[in-house]
Amino acid sequence: MLGVYGGTFDPVHFGHLRTALEVKELFKLDEIRLIPCFIPAHRDEPSVAADMRVRMLELALAGQSGMTVDTREIDRGGSSYMVDTLASLRETLAADRPLLLFIGSDAFEHLCQWYRWQALFDYAHVVVMTRPGSGYAELNEVLKQRYTDSIQKLKDTACGSLFFQRVTLLDISATAIRQMVAEGRNPGFLLPDAVINYIDQNQLYRR
């Protein structure tokens, strides 16, 4: 199984990395690809250039087996729509290979506002990463029909299902990290040292 996890990663931090590692292990993924967007469709533009966000991801994932950076959204340019990304990925995969899109619970709350959101299920399973104790009692009819509580079903089919997975969600915010750096405070233990060094060397997120 292949997993994908998108975001601005501005900058990447341990909250991103911990959840990526955890779902890789929980779902026994062959690989999980972190996909930095170029221009987000549903939020403000990133604070730093795409190539720098890619470099921070590469530094953060150095030495991590089965965790890679995928730059297809940046290479494509323009607004980054996940449905286009999944379609392009599916073209490179065997038709029966399971593809899992991992999204946070905050993103899931706005899923029905995403561009061509129902078509996401034509290319991948959607796995919502939730906090322990959280749940979604109210799903619209489309999502109810997609819901499964069987990991085996995700393994046995290429796409089409909605699944909720509890993970350790660290309360770390890229926005808070940028503010911290701008104020001259030390963001240590919130993101990898290699990323902090890169931020310092390139004077990123300074006022």
Using one digit for the tens of pLDDT, what is the confidence trace for 10-19? 999 999 999 9
Q: Where do the domains of the chain lie?
A: 2-201
Q: How confident is the model at residue 132 (pLDDT cuts 50, 70, 90)?
A: low
Residue 136 has pLDDT above 70, yes or no: no
Stretch 84-97: mean pLDDT: 95
Per the document, the length of the chain is 207
How far is the C-alpha of 143 from the C-alpha of 133, rounded, in Å? Answer: 20
Cα–Cα distance for residue pair 149/32, rounded to 1 Å: 21
pLDDT (0 to 100) of residue 87: 97
State the Rg of the chain over Cα.
Answer: 17
pLDDT at residue 56 is higher than 80:
yes
For the chain, give the percent of residues with pLDDT over 90: 84
Q: Which pLDDT value is given to residue 137?
A: 56
- What pLDDT, in 10s, does the model give residues 139-159? 888 899 999 999 999 999 999
Over residues 68-73, mean pLDDT:
97
Residue 72: predicted pLDDT: 97
pLDDT at residue 10 in the model: 97
Decide if pLDDT at 7 tops 80. Answer: yes
pLDDT at 134 over 70: no
The domain defined by 2-201 folds into Rossmann fold (3.40.50)
Work out the number of other CB atoms within 10 angstroms of the CB of residue 108: 18
Q: What is the model's pLDDT at position 131? A: 74
The pair of structure tokens assigned to 88 is: 């392009």
pLDDT of residue 42 exceeding 80: no
**Residue 184 pLDDT greater than 80, yes or no:** yes
